[in-house]
Structure 1
Amino acid sequence: MNVVPIALLFTVVAGHSAPAAETDYRHSRESTAAAETAGVEYVNVAQLPDEWRTHAERTAYEETGRYDETVALCRKLADFSPYAKYMSFGTSGEGRELPLLVLSKDRRFEPDVRGRPAQALVRAADSSMQDSTLDSRAELMLTAGERAAGPLSSKPRVLLQCCIHAGECEGKDASLALARDILVAGVHANLLNGLDLLIIPIFNVDGHERFGPYNRLNQNGPREMGWRTTAVNLNLNRDYMKADAVEMQAWLGLWKAWAPDLLLDSHATDGSDCQYDVFYTASIGPGLDPGISGWTQKIYLPELLAGLAAGGQLAIDYCFPRDQRDLTKGFAGWSGFAPRLSHCYAALCNRPSILVETHSLKPYRQRVQTTYDMMRHTLECVNRHGGELRDAVSAADARAVETRGGEIDGTVPLRWRTSEESQPIVYKALEQRFRPSEVTGGEVVVYGKKPVDVETVMCNQVCVDQSVTPPAAYLIPPQWSEVIRRLNLHGLEYFRLAEKRALPVRIYEFQNVKFATRPHEGRFSPKYEVRARDEMREFAAGTVVVPMNQPRAKIAAHLLEPQAPDSFVAWGFFNAIFEQKEYAEAYIMEPLAQRMLDEDAALRQEFANRLKDADFAGNAGARLNFFYRRSRYWDAAMNVYPVGLLLDASLLSGLR
Structure 2
Amino acid sequence: MKRYTFLAVFCILSAQLFGQAVDRELLITPEKTNYTQTSTYQDVIDFTTLVTKNSPYVTKISLGTSLEGRDIPVFVLANPKIETAEEAKASGKPIIYVQGNIHSGEVEGKEAVQILMRDILTGNKKHLIDNQIILFVPIYNTDSNDKMDEEVRRSQEGSPLKTGKRSNSQGWDLNRDGMKMETLETNGLIQNIIVPWDPTLFVDLHTTNGTWHGYSLTWAPSYHTAGEKAPYDFTWDKLLPEVTENVLEKNDVHLGPYGYYYTRQEGWPIKSISTYNHHPRYLVNQFGLRNRMAILSEAFAHERLYQRINSTHSFVAEILEFTNKNGQEMLKINAKAEADAIALVKNEGGKVQKGVRFKKVPLDKPIPSYRTYNHMETTNQRGQKTYLRKPEIVELKNIINYSAFEATQTATLPKGYIIPKEFADIAQHLKNHGVEVVELTKNTRAKGEVYTATKLNRAARPFEKHKMATIEGSFQAANKKFGKGDYWIDLAQPLANLIFYLLEPESDDGLVTWNFFDQYFDDAGIASKVVEYPIFKYFEVK
Pair in the same fold by TM > 0.5: yes
Q: Shift of residue 293 of structure 1?
A: 2.8
Moved more, 281-290 or 551-560: 281-290
1:52 pairs with one of 6, 26, 29: 26
2:145 pairs with one of 178, 193, 208: 208
Are residues 1:509 and 2:452 paired? Answer: yes
1:529 pairs with one of 461, 464, 472: 472
Q: Shift of residue 255 of structure 1?
A: 0.5
* Counterpart position of 2:56: 82
How do 1:500-579 residues align onto structure 2 when only pairs under 5 Å count? Answer: 500-579=443-522
- Counterparts of 1:80 and 1:64 in 2: how far apart (Å)? 26
Amino acid at match of 1:155: K
1:237 match: secondary structure: helix
* Counterpart position of 1:277: 216
* Counterpart position of 1:587: none
Residues 593-629 of structure 1, C-alpha deviations (whole Å, 9 max, x = no match): xxxxxxxxxxxxxxxxxxxxxxxxxxxxxxxx9xxx6
* Counterpart position of 1:371: 312
Quickly say closer, same or farther: Cα 1:447–1:73, change in 2 above 3 A. Answer: same
- Counterparts of 2:462 and 2:228 in 1: how far apart (Å)? 34
- Counterparts of 1:157 and 1:73 in 2: how far apart (Å)? 24
* Counterpart position of 2:532: 640
TM-score calculated relative to the size of structure 2: 0.90
Are residues 1:260 and 2:228 paired? Answer: no
Q: Shift of residue 94 of structure 1?
A: 1.3
* Counterpart position of 1:31: none
Count of residue correspondences = 527
Moved more, 363-372 or 205-214: 205-214
Are residues 1:396 and 2:324 paired? Answer: no
Amino acid at match of 2:184: V
* Counterpart position of 1:98: 72
- Counterparts of 2:220 and 2:525 in 1: how far apart (Å)? 49
Quickly say closer, same or farther: Cα 1:162–1:444, change in 2 above 3 A. Answer: farther
Amino acid at match of 2:212: D
Moved more, 530-539 or 204-213: 530-539
* Counterpart position of 1:352: 293
Percent identity between matched residues is 25
Residues 42-91 of structure 1, C-alpha deviations (whole Å, 9 max, x = no match): xxx44x32110100111121111100110222222222311112222211
Residues 278-297 of structure 1, C-alpha deviations (whole Å, 9 max, x = no match): 11111364644243234323
How do 1:392-471 residues align onto structure 2 when only pairs under 5 Å count? Answer: 392-404=333-345, 410-420=352-362, 421-423=364-366, 425-433=368-376, 446-460=388-402, 462-465=404-407, 466-471=409-414
1:474 pairs with one of 417, 426, 429: 417
Quickly say closer, same or farther: Cα 1:542–1:107, change in 2 above 3 A. Answer: same
- Counterparts of 2:234 and 2:376 in 1: how far apart (Å)? 42
Structure 2 stretches lacking a partner, 5+ long:
1-7
1:109 pairs with one of 51, 58, 83: 83
Quickly say closer, same or farther: Cα 1:323–1:445, change in 2 above 3 A. Answer: closer
Are residues 1:222 and 2:160 paired? Answer: yes
* Counterpart position of 1:8: 16
* Counterpart position of 1:319: 259
Are residues 1:198 and 2:135 paired? Answer: yes
- Counterparts of 1:354 and 1:371 in 2: how far apart (Å)? 12
1:112 match: secondary structure: helix
- 8 Å contact from structure 1 (residues 242, 566) kept in 2: no
- 8 Å contact from structure 1 (residues 406, 470) kept in 2: no
Q: Shift of residue 9 of structure 1?
A: 3.2
- Counterparts of 1:521 and 1:158 in 2: how far apart (Å)? 29
Q: Shift of residue 322 of structure 1?
A: 5.6
TM-score calculated relative to the size of structure 1: 0.75
* Counterpart position of 1:608: none
* Counterpart position of 2:5: none
Moved more, 471-480 or 309-318: 309-318
How do 1:124-143 residues align onto structure 2 when only pairs under 5 Å count? Answer: none
Q: Shift of residue 368 of structure 1?
A: 0.5
Amino acid at match of 1:336: N
- Counterparts of 1:69 and 1:155 in 2: how far apart (Å)? 31
Q: Shift of residue 436 of structure 1?
A: 5.9
Quickly say closer, same or farther: Cα 1:512–1:88, change in 2 above 3 A. Answer: same
2:389 match: secondary structure: strand
Amino acid at match of 2:135: L
* Counterpart position of 2:232: 293
Amino acid at match of 1:216: R
Q: Shift of residue 545 of structure 1?
A: 0.8
Residues 544-569 of structure 1, C-alpha deviations (whole Å, 9 max, x = no match): 11111001111100100122111111
* Counterpart position of 1:176: 114
- 8 Å contact from structure 2 (residues 224, 288) kept in 1: no
Quickly say closer, same or farther: Cα 1:326–1:165, change in 2 above 3 A. Answer: same
Moved more, 452-461 or 371-380: 452-461
Quickly say closer, same or farther: Cα 1:250–1:424, change in 2 above 3 A. Answer: closer
Amino acid at match of 1:369: N
Structure 1 stretches lacking a partner, 5+ long:
11-23, 25-44, 114-149, 584-624
Residues 333-388 of structure 1, C-alpha deviations (whole Å, 9 max, x = no match): 31511110111111211111110011101111111101001111111001111111
Residues 88-127 of structure 1, C-alpha deviations (whole Å, 9 max, x = no match): 22111111111111111111121116xxxxxxxxxxxxxx
- 8 Å contact from structure 2 (residues 446, 539) kept in 1: no
Residues 8-67 of structure 1, C-alpha deviations (whole Å, 9 max, x = no match): 237xxxxxxxxxxxxx4xxxxxxxxxxxxxxxxxxxx44x32110100111121111100
Q: Shift of residue 298 of structure 1?
A: 3.8
Q: Shift of residue 455 of structure 1?
A: 2.9
- Counterparts of 1:560 and 1:405 in 2: how far apart (Å)? 18
Quickly say closer, same or farther: Cα 1:307–1:247, change in 2 above 3 A. Answer: same
Quickly say closer, same or farther: Cα 1:523–1:463, change in 2 above 3 A. Answer: closer
* Counterpart position of 2:91: 153
Amino acid at match of 2:206: H
